[in-house]
Amino acid sequence: MRKSLLALAAVAGLLVTTAGTANAYEPVNIVHTERVQAGPYGLTVGFSTWPLKAMQSLDFTFIPDGGIEGKSGTLTMVNPEGGPNRKQPLVRHPRKREVWGLDVRSLPRPGDWTLRFAVNGPAGAGTGELRALPVLEQPGPPMGLSWAISTLPLIGLVVLVVVAWRRTRGRLRGGELPATG
């Protein structure tokens, strides 16, 4: 009993001491930046992967000159066809709290995107755009082919269940005696 309690205490101690490192967030690595002038405010737009590819998740950071304190803003992403997505407020990045940003976001289609900013702060309001942001084709095979390949195991499982059910159907009803011998 004493050994069991000692082992349990050791496991609990290991769990408590190692839990902090397991919960750490991966830092946001910015590999490419672009500059945008939104009225009196300069913005540095950072990307966690470059070049951008359609349907590929990445982090965006938006860093106004002088920091984000006392400032607010909105972002509108305009797709290559010219149709704007909904306007969204610029909020703190969840893993890089000192800047604005978007966490794990992807752009749904290739083409030249536009990021439209509206920033309000002590120097007044300003707007600016990052135009012709190139987004390349989606990496990997086409989406339809990916889905078709990913359903093959499910189809195999259904076939296996149907074959097993047909082979054991008579036995389940009591129509056959199990083989012995």
26: phi then psi, degrees, rounded to nearest 5: -70, 135
Strand-pairing partners, residue 99, are none
| Mean pLDDT value across residues 18-26 | 62
Spatial distance between the Cα atoms of 181 and 177, rounded to a whole number of angstroms: 12
pLDDT in tens, 53-100: 999 999 999 999 999 999 999 999 999 998 878 899 999 999 888 999
Kindly tell me if the per-residue pLDDT of 181 is higher than 60.
no
| Mean pLDDT value across residues 21-39 | 82
**What pLDDT, on a 0 to 100 scale, did the predictor assign at position 74?**
96
Angle, alpha carbons 24-26-32 (nearest 5°): 160
Kindly tell me if the per-residue pLDDT of 179 is higher than 70.
no
| CATH code that applies to domain 32-136 | 2.60.40.1930
Kindly tell me if the per-residue pLDDT of 160 is higher than 70.
yes
pLDDT in tens, 102-151: 988 999 999 999 999 999 999 999 999 999 999 999 888 888 898 999 99
Q: Name the pTM for this structure.
A: 0.69
Q: Report CA torsion sign: 47, 132, 129, 75.
A: negative
CB 126 within 8 Å of CB 41: yes
| Mean pLDDT value across residues 15-29 | 67
User: Structure tokens of 2?
Assistant: 């004493």
